[in-house]
Homo-oligomer: A and B are copies of this chain.
Amino acid sequence: YPGTYGAPPPAANDPMWSYFTAIAGQDGEVDAEELQRCLTQSGFTGSYTPFSMDTCRIMIAMLDRDSTGKMGFNEFKELFTALSGWKQNFMMFDQDRSGTIEPHEMNQAVNAMGYRVSPQVLNVIIKRYNKGGRIFFDDYVACCVKLRALTDTFRRRDTMQQGSVNFQYDEFMLCTMAI
């Protein structure tokens, strides 16, 4: 896992470092409660509904390779980069500024993120994440987290790049129960 383990302590002059330490508190890591508070108070969700605890949990799980349920500084920055991209993406496809993405626009959004999935998978995604036929920002991000985490898992295992992977039962559950 490049750049995550064994990395030197972050330079104290990184502009995000003092922000991170304030959020992380005594244990020096950010858990789901701290993340939810930070994303709400920082105004990141703006006029959208604040992220649910479930979404915050899977955000952390996406990056939490040692399964502590917390994020260090590098993961925290990595998450903010991902979140900024998803927010831009969401705003771009919410063309009528309704604050939601409609199912027929979800196809474009998923493609724009670089995922190549079949119409069946897209149908499953829309069924899972729409509320009353609309996809809200919180659910959109939950969807993005899962798309990214599952695709990363798949790629990491598909070492020969054959487009196919093998799982033992316990490995399968380990990769899929967390998110």
Minimal beta-carbon separation of A177 from chain B (angstroms): 5
Q: A53-B131, A128-B179, A165-B172 are in contact. List 16 more A-B contacts (CB 8 A).
A: A57-B128, A61-B127, A67-B120, A68-B127, A118-B170, A128-B177, A143-B177, A146-B176, A146-B177, A147-B173, A150-B172, A151-B173, A154-B172, A164-B166, A164-B168, A164-B169
Give how many A residues have a beta carbon under 8 Å from the other chain's beta carbons.
41
Decide: A67 near B178, CB < 8 A? Known: A150-B173, A163-B168, A163-B169.
no
Quick one: which of B54, B58, B68, B117 contacts A173, CB cutoff 8 A? B117
Interface 1/0 per residue, A34-50 and B, CB below 8 Å: 00000000000000000
Q: Which of A44-99 contact B (CB under 8 A)?
A: 53-54, 57-58, 61, 64, 67-69
Minimal beta-carbon separation of A33 from chain B (angstroms): 8
Decide: A124 near B178, CB < 8 A? Known: A165-B166, A172-B150.
yes
Quick one: which of B61, B120, B123, B150 contacts A176, CB cutoff 8 A? B150
* Chain copies in the assembled complex: 2
| Beta-carbon contact of A174 and B61 below 8 Å | no
CB-defined contacts of A54 to chain B, threshold 8 Å? 54
CB-defined contacts of A151 to chain B, threshold 8 Å? 169, 173
Q: Is A23 an interface residue (CB 8 A)?
A: no
Minimal beta-carbon separation of A125 from chain B (angstroms): 6
Q: Is A167 an interface residue (CB 8 A)?
A: yes
> CA A19 – CA B128 in complex, angstroms?
26
> CA A147 – CA B128 in complex, angstroms?
17
CB-defined contacts of A167 to chain B, threshold 8 Å? 154, 164-167
